Structure 1
Amino acid sequence: MQIMAKKEIYTEIKIYATPEKIWNILTDFSNYHSWNPFIDQISGEILEEKKIQVKINPVGGNPMQFKPTLQHIEINHKLSWLGIFLFKGLFDGLHQFEIIDNNDSSIQFIQKENFSGLLVSLFNLDKTRLGFEAMNQALKQKAEL
């Protein structure tokens, strides 16, 4: 019997901006290259169950491209996608952006990913965590202009 490994990356940052402004930046896929040091490119329609194309540049790592499927879209609150390597259960990643209104002219931006699958224990996700943190800081800088 195979045991399914699991890991999570969780990052959070306070940003002085409205949920609408953060949402507009996150869903403007064509401009990711101009501000985002981690996710170079995203393309595709923002519709649940649609595949998008994502290119990431992990800090100190090699660029990677994949085609996840959008899972949950809640305007001004949540965007998530599921990436699957080769076949489900091998190395899956559920990536989520969450925007929580603090009701004080700021939001909490949460970026997290839950990894699961037979190969998860073989991967060091430190570079991915650094990428999330770099993206969060870049988003804060862009939104607070």
Structure 2
Amino acid sequence: MKQIRIEIIIRASAERVWGIIIDFDNYHVWNTFTPRITLRSDDIMIGAEFDLDCRMTDQQLLKNEHEVILALEPENFHFCMGTSRTRGRPGIRSFRWQICEPIDAGITRFINYEEFKGPLALVVNLLYAKKLRAAFEKYCLTLKAYAEMN
């Protein structure tokens, strides 16, 4: 299935950007895309399940999305979450990757993408791809602004 993907250059180290995206305890401070997440930063591990709210547009907030940590590679600055395998919606699996690629000292390419698999993937893509792309773009710009402060 086609990826919904946004890349952005951030003038901050990969370590700094990584630290921000896995600091779930402080998402409420800067992350308007995910204003609520129930997983604490200290509890991040592969298989950890949690709920979150996802702001698709200024008017549309998806509440209590059931998610799971699918991959966590701090040494490579890679992180993936997706639809909960035990409490998620039947017929759809999501994989949302967040990757920090060091380009140079203090410069990072941040890649944020999601892909959907399963019998409902095409329907979800048709219904949400445009909104999700815009939400990801806003998320990346907000992350950039926050990471580049100080």
- Relative to the length of structure 2, the TM-score reads 0.84
Match for residue 145 of structure 2?
141
Match for residue 30 of structure 2?
35
Letter in 2 for 1:107: T
Question: Which ranges of structure 1 fall in alignment gaps of 5 or more residues?
Answer: 1-5
Q: 111, 121, 130: which one pairs with 2:134?
A: 130
2:19 maps to 1:24: yes
Percent identity of equivalent pairs: 25
After TM superposition, give the deviation of residue 69 of structure 1 in Å.
1.3
What secondary structure does 2:72 align onto?
A: strand
Match for residue 3 of structure 1?
none
Counterpart-to-counterpart distance in 2, 1:144 and 1:59: 24
Letter in 1 for 2:5: Y
**Matched-pair contact (CA < 8 Å) for 2:13–2:105:** no
Counterpart-to-counterpart distance in 2, 1:129 and 1:61: 16
Match for residue 86 of structure 1?
89
Letter in 1 for 2:123: L
After TM superposition, give the deviation of residue 120 of structure 1 in Å.
2.0
Letter in 2 for 1:138: T
What secondary structure does 2:56 align onto?
A: coil
Q: After the TM superposition, list the runs of 4 or more consecutive aligned residues in structure 1 that deviate by more than 4 angstroms.
A: none
After TM superposition, give the deviation of residue 61 of structure 1 in Å.
5.1
Match for residue 68 of structure 2?
69
2:10 maps to 1:15: yes
Counterpart-to-counterpart distance in 1, 2:59 and 2:136: 13
Counterpart-to-counterpart distance in 1, 2:58 and 2:119: 25
What secondary structure does 2:138 align onto?
A: helix
Question: Which ranges of structure 2 fall in alignment gaps of 5 or more residues?
Answer: none
**Matched-pair contact (CA < 8 Å) for 1:93–1:113:** yes
RMSD: 1.6
What secondary structure does 1:95 align onto?
A: strand
Bigger mean CA offset, 44-53 vs 107-116: 44-53
